[in-house]
Amino acid sequence: MGKLVDGLWHDVWYDTKSNGGKFVREDAGFRHWIETKPDAPFQPESGRYHLYVSLACPWAHRTLIMRELKGLTEHIDVTVVSPDMLENGWEFSEPEPLFGFTKMHQLYTKAKSGYSGRVTIPMLWDKKTNTIVNNESSEILRMFNSAFNELTGNFDDYYPAELQTEIDEWNEFVYPNINNGVYKTGFATTQSAYEESFDSLFAALDKVDQHLGTNRYLVGDKITEADWRLFTTLIRFDAVYVGHFKCNLKRIADYPNLQGYMKELYQIGNVADTVSFEHIKRHYYFSHKGINPTQVVPKGPDLDLTTPHGRG
C-alpha cells in the first residue's frame, strides 16, 4: 500500500504489530466540500471535477454508482487506476489525463507538496484550482447525491432528511462490522484478531439477512445510500473475501435474503457496468503478496447475478 511522509513515498504496509495483530484504517486527509454557497471555494460546475477510482476498491465503487444514478457521467470525468497495487501504490496503466502522472501519489504531492498519509482512492480533483477536494468516499457520495442537483435536474435523494437517522444507524453498524470487517479479518496477523473480526463479520451478516427477510431494503421500502454502501462489499464477497480474506463461514449465495437483495441492486440501471470482476480479482489476489505470495488469480467463481432476484 505505501504512504507519503513529508511528500516522499515510502513502501510500507499497515502496522498491525502495534495493534495486537489488528488492522486499523487511517482517516482520509482531504475533507473539502462542494456546495452552492456564494463564498464556497468549490462550486458545483460541469467539467470542473475529475474523479480518480479503482474498479477493484469498494470505497471507490460507491462513488461510481452514485455518479451513474445521479446523472453525473457527463459532468464529472473519471480515471481508473491499474488493478495492480505494488511497491509504488496505486498506479496508472497509461499516464493520467491532467498532468501525465503515472503514480497516484504524484497527484497528492501536486495538491500538497509536503503531504503525509496514505494515498487512497477515490479521490476527487478540482481542475480549476489544481488541488484535491476530498478523498473520503462517504463524503464524495453525499456530494454527488445533492450538490449537483440544479445542474443535472436529477433530484433523486439517497439521503433524505426523514430517513437520515436510520441511514446513519445502519452505516454505523455496517461499516465496522462488514465494510471494514472483511479487511479486519483478511489483514489480521494474529489468530485471535482474525477470529474476533471473523465472528463480528458473520454475526453482522446474519443480522442484515434476517432484517432483509421482512424489509425490502435496509431502511424500509426505499433504496438509500446505506444500501449502496453495503452492496459494494457484498458484490465482492464470494469472488474475493471468502477465499482471499478467509471469510469462509458462508458465501453471500448461502444467504437467501442477502443474495436476492444484492442481485436486485446489481440489476438496477447501469450499476452492473460499474462492476469489474476482472479488476476486483486481479487487484486483491495479485497485489496482496503477503496474503497470496504466488499472485495466482483464480478463474472462478461463477456468480449468479442476472437471473430474477425474486424480491417484490
Kindly list the catalytic residues. Answer: 57, 183
Angle formed at CA 54 by CA 109 and CA 216, multiple of 5 degrees? 130
What residue has cell string 463479520? 201
- Ramachandran area for residue 292 (φ above 0: left; ψ -120 to 50: alpha; else beta): beta
Q: What is the spatial distance between Cα 226 and Cα 88, in angstroms, rounded to a whole number?
A: 33
Nearest 5°: phi and psi at 238?
-70, -30
Measuring CA to CA, how many Å separate 256 from each of 211, 272, 306?
A: 12, 21, 16
Q: What is the spatial distance between Cα 121 and Cα 28, in angstroms, rounded to a whole number?
A: 10
**Residues 301/86/140/144 CA torsion (nearest 10 deg):** -60
Q: What is the spatial distance between Cα 260 and Cα 171, in angstroms, rounded to a whole number?
A: 20
- Pair 2, 91: CB distance under 8 Å: no
Instruction: Return contacts of 198-202, CB within 8 angstroms, 24+ apart.
Output: 198/246, 198/247, 198/249, 200/176, 201/177, 201/247, 202/247, 202/249, 202/250
Q: What is the spatial distance between Cα 197 and Cα 214, in angstroms, rounded to a whole number?
A: 27
Closest by CA position to 204, among listed 172, 157, 165: 172
CB neighbours (10 Å) of residue 114? 10
Dmax (CA) for the chain in angstroms is: 55
